[in-house]
Structure 1
Amino acid sequence: MTNIIAVSDEEIYIHNSNNKKFDLLICSGDLSPKYIDYLMNEFKPFFSVMVHGNHDKKYYKKYYEEENNSFSKVYKGVYVLNHSIVNLKKFMKKDIVLSGFSGALSYGFRPFYFKEKDINRFKREILFNTTFKGNRYRLIDIMVSHNPPYVKNTIKKYGQSHTPSKALGEFYIKAFPKIWIYGHIHPSYYFQELDFEIRYQNKISYLLNAVPYKLIKYDEEKKQVIEISTFKRCSPKKVMLK
């Protein structure tokens, strides 16, 4: 069993009052290095990973030096997946394949912003990664992005600066990870359902908003989500895709 805490966008100083063991901290962007350091000290995850949000550039004093498939020099102790994929067996005794894509859909520079065409490069990187060549996404347990993907019948209200990505949505359907974690859209912005249990071709995937945090129990052996909660247990809205 893998205990996961996923966070994004809003810095809520939550406490691990029961000293629960956490295996994995996942950050979906727009959080300060100071806050991530707090979470790492409070929850003591075995491994921490992140993608960048559109506001993270301010924490880099000079031009951005590529941090991808590597530990960050700014977010100390956190592994960055700007546009890549990794099997966590490399770092911990759990067979969990995790992929990440940074940024918000807008004009600007990677990794803090992206255009739809940038997803094509990302898909090629996944396809031709030597470890996963020939498997065509089938191995992804967890996908992490800052911007939400566009998936039919899920997120319905959003402003121009928070538009779900159609290209990420196409990747979602092809990859169909067990869990897709995203941020960028704050629940308080539009007051709508932002967590979904998506069923497609006899498969189940969970699209989960990490703002401000989600606690997830994941059985990496059975490849099943056991529980999702924040301050109480969550029941994501069910969506059937044809």
Structure 2
Amino acid sequence: MKILAVADEECKSLWDYYKPEKLADIDMIVCCGDLSAHYVSFLATMAPMPVIYVHGNHDESYDWEPPGGAICIDDEVYVHNGVRFVGLGGSCRYRKGAWQFTEAEMRARIRRLRGRIDRMGGVDVVVTHAPMHGYGDLSDLPHRGFTVFHELLDAYKPQLMLHGHIHMNYGANIPREHQYGPTRIINAYERFVVDVEPRAVIKPTFWERFLGHK
């Protein structure tokens, strides 16, 4: 499956200068937050494939006027063509406002998802807004990633983690990609195309799920 991941800044090539052939070989569009709802709605209207999204820390307006035609996967497991996605939008809490979380709050969100992930036999793509701490984040709190994401990647070893939040134009030395064990971590700033393949689903037994949640 070929995924077009977008985040943080609207791509003029896809919006102002859109042509259908630009999405000809794309199977899924994944929006990683802090994008205009009109832009996400435009992609969902024009694209002949699913468009899924998580909230960025500046996407409070999505809560009362969500992007039309797109599918919110925050705190959900979404499956398309055998590829399992899980969504965890928002950033580290650095001010008052929606879609910001402490480490404890993000851990609680992940804990609530574990049962659904286990029943699906794991996850292939983790979709977030904030990066994982130490893998593409910055040192200041507004741009710090979540340490608890390590636990999610260690437990399920997804093929991909797609995030936004860190703009590539913040500095010349910001890398686009990182590798964490078998997981390829990609900053989706503006646009990035990546392939992912469905994996064989081996669902854990009751006792494996029980012991995994102790």
Provide the TM-score with structure 2 as the length reference. Answer: 0.80
1:179-211 Cα shifts (integer Å, max 9, x gaps):
00000000111322131233x3xxx21100000
8 Å CA contact 1:157–1:190 kept in 2: the answer is no
After superposition, residues 83-232 of structure 1 pair within 5 angstroms as 83-88=75-80, 94-106=81-93, 107-110=95-98, 112-129=99-116, 132-133=118-119, 139-151=122-134, 154-155=135-136, 157-191=138-172, 192-198=174-180, 200=181, 204-220=182-198
Question: Higher relative contact order at CA 8 Å, sep ≥6: structure 1 or structure 2?
Answer: 2
Partner of 1:7: 6
Partner of 1:27: 31
Partner of 2:205: none
In structure 1, how many angstroms separate the alpha carbons of the residues matched to 2:175 and 2:160?
17
Question: Which of 43, 55, 59 is 2:58 aligned to?
Answer: 55
Partner of 1:237: none
Structure 2: runs of 5+ lacking an equivalent: 202-214
CA separation of 1:109/1:84 partners in 2, compared to 1, >3 Å: closer, same or farther? Answer: farther
Secondary structure of the corresponding residue to residue 76 of structure 2: strand
Greater strand fraction, Structure 1 or Structure 2: 1
CA separation of 1:52/1:146 partners in 2, compared to 1, >3 Å: closer, same or farther? Answer: same
In structure 1, how many angstroms separate the alpha carbons of the residues matched to 2:89 and 2:123?
17
Identity %: 22
Structure 1: runs of 5+ lacking an equivalent: 66-72, 89-93, 224-242
Greater helix fraction, Structure 1 or Structure 2: 2
Structure 2 residue identity aligned to 1:96: V
CA separation of 1:157/1:123 partners in 2, compared to 1, >3 Å: closer, same or farther? Answer: closer
CA separation of 1:160/1:213 partners in 2, compared to 1, >3 Å: closer, same or farther? Answer: same
Q: Which runs of 4+ in 1 moved over 4 A?
A: none
8 Å CA contact 1:149–1:172 kept in 2: the answer is no
After superposition, residues 60-75 of structure 1 pair within 5 angstroms as 60=62, 64=63, 74-75=66-67
In structure 2, how many angstroms separate the alpha carbons of the residues matched to 1:142 and 1:197?
14
CA separation of 1:12/1:213 partners in 2, compared to 1, >3 Å: closer, same or farther? Answer: same
Structure 2 residue identity aligned to 1:144: V
In structure 2, how many angstroms separate the alpha carbons of the residues matched to 1:101 and 1:27?
12
8 Å CA contact 1:81–1:100 kept in 2: the answer is yes
Provide the TM-score with structure 1 as the length reference. Answer: 0.71
- What count of residue pairs does the alignment treat as equivalent? 194
CA separation of 1:156/1:39 partners in 2, compared to 1, >3 Å: closer, same or farther? Answer: closer
Q: CA RMSD in A?
A: 2.4
